[in-house]
Chain A
Amino acid sequence: MDAIIRTEGVSKVFNAGLADEIKAISAVSIEISRGQITVLKGPSGSGKTTLLGLIGCMSRPTEGKIFVEGKDVAKLPERFLTDVRRKTFGFIFQHFNLIRGLTVMENVMLPLYPTDIDGGQMERRMEEILDKLDLTAKRAVRVEKLSGGQQQRVAIARAMINEPAVILADEPTAHLDTKLSEDFLNIVTSLNTEGKTIVIATHDPLIYEKPYIDNIIEMRDGAVKEAALL
């Protein structure tokens, strides 16, 4: 199977050289297959978020290589890293990380502001995504006024606006009840059928026990326990 992302012996050390030095992950070698749904599973502190951040070009590994579409990004200068991040990845953060005080529309379009995309096109894209996520009625509402489930949908919409190939989600159901968690999974599977690659970090059985999960990567103490292809 074609791997859109591949890591080779990746380690990440925080606060290197200090008294509170911590090795968050070590010697992680994994593959994420294009067009599949992959789950990073593991207990709290096992390094899921750290690995997700590395895959998504949010930071660089201390050691090892990370290939995105076959290109090693581990040593790319920051400008190019940003470029890869913008073009390839959409993030759904655990705490959504929406910007308070801005409306749903503003939050969703924010990633496109510095780009050269034309305003009309930007708005068409936004309208389409809001429609798909059932947010059109809330378009002019400030995000802090929304419920948790709605906020998550805004975060998904924002992750989609750049039309990324890969969607990364960190503990997406941590703050949702069962019904909303199922809603989230419905959105994700529909994105997947459109061809998007999905990576979800979670320890929620509701997610990793779903039959349509293609691949589970289990982590413990900063290392991959086993990689099982289902």
Chain B
Amino acid sequence: MKGNGRIIEYALSTLARRKFKNFSIAVVFSALIAVLSSILFLTHAYKTETLKLLDNSPEIILQNMSGGRHELIPTEYIKTLSGIAGVGQITPRYWGYYYDSLTSANYTLMAVDENMRDIQLIDGRMPQTDTECAVGRGVADLRQAGLKDDFFLITGAELSVNLKIVGIFTANSAILTNDLVVMTKDSLIKFFNMPADKATDITVEVNNPAEVSMVARKIRRAFPNSRPILKNELIRTYDNIFNWRGGIVLTMFFGAIAAFMIFVWDKATGINAQERREIGILKAIGWETADVLTLKFWEGAVVATGSFLTGLILAYVHVFYFNAQFLAPVLKGWSVLFPRFQPMPYIDIYQIFVLFFLTVVPYVAASVVPSWKAAISDPDAVMR
């Protein structure tokens, strides 16, 4: 090993000689990266899953409005809808919300339909008879129920339905299905006591995506009380919500970075007499300024990249294996949008790069710059 290799080796031994100082810096550094990248991982995973979910949703969801509120929609609309040019498949959907006092949680109850049969992400199968149901992972966990277990839902003071769990959605479909209870259409209609000629809403596919807004206009004209919700609008809305929340996250983010900068600055200006003396000795025994700066660069780079990677791995494990447990209280607002679920690991490389440039780079600079002054001055100071 020659020149630069030996300088790197020496940098490592120098770090080891100042174990306590460097270790405590590495702990703070790793912790900061762990927190920041946990936030980034989590929000990015939420966003990716949501947009993926929206991608599979129908072009138009038609709701019936009354007094500004969402109401049941007459199924006879379907006849008129199929007469509109450009309209593809039309499907009435039956679903509703249910507050489960037993577990103090909201479930979404939904009738099994054609589209859903495509879902492969299930242990067991979809319900086929009126006494069967399939539930999301979150619901199963809350009720501590498994396949073939009984599942009660209480309707009124005395009424209740008793279903058997025949399927549980797998974790991979968590964001779609976590709070879901799927049953047959008949048992759902009975449970919610819905009139036979009404559905919750109607989904409308459009053959040519360019015609979506035109079709939506025609629908509005045909049913002035209805509200067509376009997939594109939904995506835009979610995007805005994410950007808004992203703004809050960003504020926290820069707060943390600012604190980190102060920490770095403090460390940087704190080049002590002993370090200064060592630089003088190295120069006096024949090291060039560039050699000294190379040394300081590697000292900084090893601590910074080591801490960065440690923080990243901690964040990954925290978010994707431990369900971001430590962040949950901070990001409570998210649960309005999402049930708690195990996020899938989606990572935005770009964000990692930004984080890298905002932390590792300034740290390395702060390791090199203050040594600069000592390194360019004459080494004769060490002689006294």
**Residues on A close to B: CB < 8 A?**
49-50, 52-53, 58-60, 78-79, 82, 85-86, 91, 93-94, 97, 99, 101-102, 106, 110-111, 113-119, 158, 162, 170
Contacts and interface: CB of A to CB of B under 8 A. Distances in A.
B347 interface: no
A49 B286 contact: no
Interface in B283-307: 283-289, 291, 294
Given A86-B286, A97-B281, A170-B383, A102 B378 contact: no
B282 interface: yes
A165 to B, nearest CB: 14
Contacts of A118: 2
B335 to A, nearest CB: 52
Contact of B282 (A59, A91, A110, A117): A110
A93 B376 contact: no
Interface residues of B, number: 29
10 contacts: A53-B380, A82-B287, A85-B286, A91-B285, A99-B281, A110-B282, A111-B286, A113-B10, A114-B3, A114-B6
A117 B278 CA distance: 22
Contact of B17 (A85, A93, A101): A101
Given A53-B383, A118-B2, A102 B13 contact: yes
A32 to B, nearest CB: 18
B258 to A, nearest CB: 35
Contacts of B13: 102, 106
A149 B29 CA distance: 43
A119 B1 contact: yes
A79 B288 contact: yes
B30 to A, nearest CB: 25
Contacts of A91: 284-285
Given A118-B2, A119-B1, A60 B378 contact: yes
Nearest to B280: A97
Contact of B383 (A58, A82, A117): A58
Given A106-B13, A113-B10, A114-B291, A78 B376 contact: yes
A97 B280 CA distance: 9
A113 B3 CA distance: 6
A93 B10 contact: no
A164 B287 CA distance: 15
Nearest to A90: B285
Interface centre among B6, B289, B379, B383 (most CB of A within 10 A): B383
A7 to B, nearest CB: 15
Contacts of B285: 86, 91, 110-111, 158
Given A91-B285, A110-B10, A113-B7, 8 more contacts: A60-B378, A82-B286, A85-B284, A86-B285, A93-B383, A102-B13, A115-B2, A116-B2
A48 B63 CA distance: 96
B6 A58 contact: no
B382 interface: yes
Given A49-B383, A117-B2, A158-B285, A58 B378 contact: yes
B79 interface: no
Nearest to B292: A114
Contact of B286 (A59, A93, A162): A162
A173 B282 CA distance: 23
B384 interface: yes
Interface of B: 1-3, 6-7, 10, 13, 17, 277-278, 280-289, 291, 294, 376, 378-380, 382-384
A49 B2 contact: no
A116 B380 contact: no
A170 to B, nearest CB: 6
Nearest to A86: B286
A97 B382 contact: yes
Contacts of A97: 277, 280-281, 284, 382
Q: Give the top 8 A-B pairs by smallest Cβ distance, nearest first.
A: A86-B286, A59-B378, A58-B380, A53-B380, A114-B291, A101-B17, A111-B285, A113-B6
Contacts of A52: 383
Contacts of B382: 93, 97
A59 B283 CA distance: 11
Contacts of B286: 82, 85-86, 111, 114, 162
**Most chain B CB atoms below 10 A, which of A49, A106, A114, A170:** A114
A87 to B, nearest CB: 8
Nearest to A87: B286
A79 B290 CA distance: 9
Nearest to B376: A78
B6 to A, nearest CB: 4
Interface-centre pick from B6, B10, B286, B384 (highest chain A CB count, 10 A): B286
A79 B289 CA distance: 8
A201 to B, nearest CB: 10
B121 to A, nearest CB: 58
A94 B383 CA distance: 7
Contacts of A116: 2-3
A85 B378 CA distance: 12
A119 B2 contact: yes
Contacts of B280: 97
B11 to A, nearest CB: 10
Nearest to B17: A101
Contacts of A58: 284, 378-380, 383
A49 B381 CA distance: 11
A196 to B, nearest CB: 17
B277 to A, nearest CB: 8
Contacts of A101: 17
Contacts of B6: 113-114, 119
